[in-house]
């Protein structure tokens, strides 16, 4: 049975970047920090809307879960929503990385020039 048939969903580039950023940030992974991490590491500028759309989409797919932190005065009494990978998300990320690695096999010389 295919990966998709077993409930594994393919990740797009943005979703892959978001999951990797969540892993890097660990307990500090919230919308703005995720966006900043991606921008810092890739130079890619993303809108908050793009990040939050991806987060909601991945949450619906059970690839990530969120928890609310404490409300803080610096945020006008609003709480941050923190994100973490689920086992489903980790499996999807591993599969995306394996697929990318398989596609690059044999192209190292062309890609390095």
What confidence tens digit (pLDDT) does each residue in 34-62 have?
999 999 999 999 999 999 999 999 999 99
| Alpha helices per DSSP H over the chain | 13-25, 31-42, 48-60, 87-104, 108-112
Its pTM stands at 0.84
Whether 28 maps to a domain, the answer reads yes
Q: Does residue 4 belong to any structural domain of this protein?
A: no
Residue 95's nearest CA partner among 18, 21, 10, 15 is 10
User: Could you tell me the residue range of the domain that residue 67 belongs to?
Assistant: 10-98
Position 104 in a domain: no
Q: For the chain, state the CA radius of gyration.
A: 16
**Is 111 within the bounds of a domain?**
no
Confidence check: pLDDT of 2 > 60: no
Please state, rounded to an integer, the average pLDDT across all residues of the chain.
89
Structural domain tally of the chain? 1
By the 10 Å C-beta count (0-12 exposed, 13-18 middle, 19+ buried), 27 is classed as exposed
Q: Which residues pair with 66 in a beta bridge?
A: 83
Instruction: Say which CATH number the domain at 91 has.
Output: 1.10.10.10
């Amino acid at each position: 049975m295919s990966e998709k048939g077993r409930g594994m969903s393919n990740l797009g580039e943005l979703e892959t970047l978001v999951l990797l950023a969540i892993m890097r940030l660990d307990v500090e992974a919230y919308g703005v920090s995720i966006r900043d991490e991606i921008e810092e590491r890739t130079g890619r500028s993303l809108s908050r809307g793009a990040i939050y759309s991806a987060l909601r989409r991945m949450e619906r797919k059970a690839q990530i879960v969120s928890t609310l932190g404490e409300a803080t005065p610096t945020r006008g009494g609003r709480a941050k929503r923190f994100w973490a990978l689920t086992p489903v998300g980790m499996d999807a990320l591993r599969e995306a990385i394996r697929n990318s690695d398989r596609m690059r096999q044999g192209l190292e010389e062309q890609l390095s020039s």
